[in-house]
Chain A
């Protein structure tokens, strides 16, 4: 039983963290219909920002979150005005290849500056701490904090999009750009805002997860792929969709844990021989594939 509970809790926590990573991607996609291939690299920037600020200033890594947020916001805005704005005039392929190029640029820039080694935080309020919450379930403090922040970020973004004037303007831009412009909404600024907000949310996520994962210049790709799976599963552009899909993906990644549970419950020795952990990412991409074939707009996506 404790195996099932452990797997469930750790899957949900991981899911919340991954949902936070995917949030920025879904904001940018929802407003601009642009798929940002460099999303994972934004996360990497956030991780390096958190790590270097904490080490450079000797402060707790948690205090670096606002710094990372500011860096991400600026990065998003600069990318938009310096680069994406021009891509919008081109065909869809230009936009895809453009963000792909941005991904390569950021990755190699990081390689040039930081080198290829893994770097990790060794000190901090949350680093390496964990508690036993009973029933044999052990929760790592950093993951719990990241999960909490994830919930807060989703609520904040949802409220912002649905309850504020600017948020409604963003949603309007997302639904129909030309109509929004006729209504007097400065869509250019809305686009920049989406890039800023998307960038900030993902760099904050990065600064938080560097508390438990190490960072290197290549880390982005894995997260980009998982974020894509989440956003596709939840529906491109849907904020609640990303949230629930994140939880689903987290649970999918814990399939080896559930497998163990069934193995012990049924005392099935053959199940121990199946190398479940070797394939844990396969299930995520399988789900991505199935949802793309069966329901291309995802669970919560808008019909265009």
Chain B
């Protein structure tokens, strides 16, 4: 009798557990899982946090109705064509390590059964992760890696929303050329001889070494001289010999591609060694990380960085202002290039799923190749999102564009980025030459 009671209790509790799980299971089956691989710890952890916050905000807006945000995805709950399925982001941390990234991608695909992948910020990691996706036939949308080579491999399962470094480096040289033509706001035409000599220092992984090569080739095309180009390890503890080497050629323009901690160390060392370039430009990443501004403060007034999003965009673009306000309420500061691009990446995922109306890889592939997101839906100042399906840059968004910002101090002593390029959007007079230390 006792054992019969015990058996009965076990049966009842098992049923109860199954009963509790059933609705959750039903919900889980509905949600569309996207694996998101970012550097959440390690040297780029600060950017990782930004990226994550941007992506989470986009998912939040997709999954609920927000009347005060004038985006299509804010008007309904979840993905309409999938029966209002919600988007669930599964975050993984690659620590800036390409091998780990590839392992995580496999895990997401095989264990978590994600519908697709997004990430990974570091171009070197995106390279290995996209290779895994290609192998398994799982779609990947890259939101934030800018090495041009990534879309030159003819992959069928890889799409990139952000413009890449060829676009950004073209912007840089158009900016320098414009400077000599007197196009920069508040600065008279600068004789070319004054900014003729360039020197670059880039971190030596996939991304930085590509930027370095691009700078060399564009300099030739635009008639500038690269006096020195250095590749350095982003994990260095000391950059004094690098800075010494840059200073030795007395460059007019110093160009950098750095992640966060090395960007800070580089600027500190430049200051300690009293470097005197006329222009100091960074290729986004570390130069735009919040801790870059918080740590260096007044020392970065006059520093230029390429970017895809400045808080100032919010004042000229309505939808950017609305989302930025929401982001500020949640995170405590304005959107950055990293968070704005992560947001846009998730947005692109939602639009692709909406168009596909299915979670089958082949349908997603077809939808991604056919999609067009208009400019008025985006918080970034692009013409829209449309992926190339032929030519050299397969999977690249052909409607993206970049900007160059300059750190300036306003009347209240607050340091923020002003738009310096495109010249017709400039929000403040350019500080030229760089004030120096």
Contacts and interface: CB of A to CB of B under 8 A. Distances in A.
Central interface residue in B233, B241, B244, by most chain A CB within 10 Å: B241
Nearest to B201: A277
18 contacts: A14-B238, A116-B45, A120-B264, A122-B295, A130-B271, A130-B272, A214-B264, A219-B237, A222-B235, A253-B241, A257-B241, A257-B245, A260-B248, A275-B230, A275-B231, A277-B231, A277-B241, A278-B232
A120 B295 contact: yes
Nearest to A136: B247
A41 interface: no
A173 interface: no
A170 to B, nearest CB: 31
A140 B245 contact: no
Interface of B is mostly: helix
A59 interface: no
A272 interface: yes
Nearest to B49: A117
B204 interface: yes
Interface in A234-266: 253-257, 260, 264
Given A10-B244, A140-B273, 15 more contacts: A3-B244, A7-B244, A10-B240, A117-B291, A122-B297, A128-B272, A130-B271, A138-B272, A213-B237, A214-B261, A257-B241, A260-B244, A260-B245, A272-B227, A275-B231
Interface in B180-209: 204
B114 interface: no
A217 to B, nearest CB: 10
Contacts of B81: none
B265 to A, nearest CB: 7
Interface string B231-274: 11101011011101100100000000000110011001001111
B240 to A, nearest CB: 5
Contact of B260 (A10, A118, A212, A213): A118
A128 B268 contact: yes
Contacts of B238: 14, 213, 253
Given A118-B264, A212-B268, A257-B244, A277 B232 contact: yes
A86 B207 CA distance: 48
B43 interface: yes
Query: Could you say which interface size class chain A belongs to?
Result: 35 or more
Nearest to B239: A277
B46 interface: yes
Contact of A116 (B41, B240, B244, B274): B41
B274 A7 contact: no
Given A118-B260, A120-B264, A264-B248, A130 B241 contact: no
Contacts of B248: 3, 257, 260, 264
Contacts of B268: 128, 212
A151 B371 CA distance: 67
A130 B264 contact: no
A295 interface: no
A278 to B, nearest CB: 5
A265 to B, nearest CB: 12
A122 B204 CA distance: 27
B413 to A, nearest CB: 16
Nearest to B46: A117
In order of increasing CB-CB distance, the 9 nearest A-B pairs are A116-B41, A118-B261, A140-B272, A130-B272, A278-B231, A260-B248, A277-B230, A256-B241, A3-B248
A138 B245 CA distance: 14
A168 interface: no
Contact of B240 (A14, A264, A281): A14
A279 to B, nearest CB: 10
B374 interface: no
B223 interface: no
Interface string A213-224: 110100100110
A36 interface: no
A171 interface: no
Interface in A199-237: 212-214, 216, 219, 222-223
B42 interface: yes
A3 to B, nearest CB: 5
B228 interface: yes
B271 to A, nearest CB: 6
A280 interface: yes
Nearest to A131: B274
A163 B92 CA distance: 58
Interface string B278-314: 0000000000000100010101000000000000000
Interface in A1-60: 3, 6-7, 10, 14
Nearest to A261: B248
